[in-house]
Amino acid sequence: MNWEQLLSLKRFGDTEKRPRIAQDETRLGFDVDFDRIIFSTAFRSLQDKTQVIPLSETDFVHTRLTHSLEVSVVGRTLGRRVGKVLLERHPDLVALGYTFNDFGAIVATASVAHDIGNPPFGHSGEKAIGEYFKSGNGAKYKDQLSDKEYQDLIEFEGNANGFKILTENREGIFGGLRLSYATLGAFLKYPKESLPQKPTNHVADKKYGFFQSEKEAFLDVVQELGMKPKSIENNSFYRHPLAYLVEAADDICYTIIDFEDGINLGLIDEDYALEYMSKLIYRINREKYYALKHTKDRTAYLRAIAINSLIDEAVKIFLANEKSILEGAFDRSLLEKCAYEAQINDIIKISIDKIYKSKEVIEKEVAGYKIIADLLDVFIKAINHKFEGIESNFDTLILNLLPQEYQVETNSLYNRVMQVSTYVARMSDSYAIRMHKKLTGNLV
């Protein structure tokens, strides 16, 4: 893979390339990408989607939106710092007009979009959709779908749904948000289809990155960027190098900030903050630390230094392994190769035990399973009954609740079912709860 091709400013849906040297420096194409995501309705819904603590009544716990914004800030720093060195190594990119801010903008944009496809109720939302088709009422569709189509559904993936949101054609809108190919490439953490599952231990094979409905869009992106194929037969590719930085930004934020949320909620003892986060930090000014009077201020101080430390590590590892990353030979995430891997794993283990398995989280995830299954059931029945010509009065009423963009007439069962699944996945937590109440006759 080569950087000039990987940094393509051409927009998804364009027929002509966009030279970097011709860009307006006051409104660079990569900055336009960021703006388009921020103003999108899909991004806006993240303000009411669970990050860790579902539907928390506190005002400081992170939602998907605040998490995404924080990841983009870390991603921007990672991109700029890496870009500065890469331009020294590749002066031809400077001659083409690229600056270190370009790298920062690409990583920041892919980072701010990284959760845009996640369903309501956190990661349990993905599992709830999958289980509806694996063991719920949706299992009856298995024999009517191809293996890959069925796998898309039973292992519903927020990353693939995000790619769908960013690229899907709608009536009058070709190319979705029409982002640059470079941004779309950096967004693709798992550039493969849903089958085969985890064919290797390479980090790019951990999950999948596109639904069968977006296969043509995916192939267009990876071919435009010159991403290296892993398996042409299985539409599997090695990552765009900047996807490693997007992943690192996410890993840094959820590791440290979920831990911070747990401490501020009282789910984790504050002593753990000093004990575990200090292991990620070269030096702590203990006088300054103990001068802070409030728990939130002390944990925020540790969080800021810990994040900076992990940024340093991620930049160092990326630059040391640039060649193997470009060749597709770097098979782990950046933080898995860092000097603090053991300490990071200790923090994650505490978060799993104290936060993710807390009673509040589990109770609301259970409710999310029921809500999502019921919503899928009623909308899929209605849209299929209409296609089959056996639409009831109730089905008609239900379809009046389904936005028109999800009622595109199609002979494909897969596309009909996917339309409903992506509609439910785009709901915010509160909207899903309100819709469920209406459909179950609870108007209170």
Q: Domain-by-domain residue ranges, the chain?
A: 246-358, 360-439
DSSP state, residue 230: E
Q: What is the structure's pLDDT at 275?
A: 86
Residue 122's pLDDT band, with cuts at 50, 70 and 90, is confident
Q: What percent of the chain shows pLDDT beyond 70?
A: 97
**pLDDT value for 58:** 57
Task: Enter the DSSP assignment of 403.
Answer: -
Express as a percent the part of the chain with pLDDT over 90: 73
Taking 60 as the threshold, does the pLDDT of residue 313 lie above it?
Answer: yes
- CA 13 from centroid of its chain's CA atoms: 22
Alpha-carbon span 350 to 297, nearest angstrom: 21
* Average pLDDT over every residue of 105-132: 94
Average pLDDT on 308-316 reads 97
The pLDDT score that the predictor gives to residue 444 is: 58
Per-residue confidence (pLDDT) for residue 405, from 0 to 100: 87
Reported as a pLDDT band with limits 50, 70 and 90, residue 25 is confident
> pLDDT digits over 139-181, tens only?
999 999 999 999 999 999 999 999 999 999 877 677 789 999 9
pTM of the model: 0.94
User: Apex CA 433: angle with CA 431 and CA 438, to 5°?
Assistant: 95
pLDDT at 281: 83
What does CATH list as the number for 360-439?
1.10.3550.10
Q: What does the pLDDT look like over 272-298, one tens digit per residue?
A: 888 888 888 877 888 888 899 888 898
Q: Which of 52-56, 241-245, 262-266, 341-345 has the lowest mean pLDDT?
A: 52-56
Q: Taking 70 as the threshold, does the pLDDT of residue 54 lie above it?
A: no
pLDDT digits (tens, 9 = 90+) for 79-112: 999 999 999 999 999 999 999 999 999 999 999 9
- Given this model, what pLDDT does residue 440 score? 83
Whole-angstrom CA distances from 273 to 269, 278, 280, 338, 420 are: 8, 8, 11, 20, 43
Q: Which amino acid is at 21?
A: I
Higher-pLDDT residue of 435 and 24 is 435
Predicted pLDDT at 221 = 97
pLDDT of residue 53: 64
Cα 438 to Cα 55: distance, rounded to the nearest angstrom: 19
> How confident is the model over 410-436, as a mean pLDDT?
95
Query: Is 325 a residue whose pLDDT tops 70?
Result: yes
Confidence of residue 407 (pLDDT cuts 50, 70, 90): confident
Structure tokens at 104: 């920062």
The CATH code of the domain at 246-358 is 1.10.3410.10
- Over the chain, what is the mean pLDDT? 92
pLDDT value at residue 56: 54
Please list the alpha-helical segments (H only) found in 229-320.
Answer: 242-264, 270-272, 286-291, 295-320
Evaluate the CA torsion angle 414, 416, 422, 424 in order and state its sign: negative
Considering all CA atoms of the chain, what is the largest pairwise distance in Å, rounded to the nearest integer?
A: 74
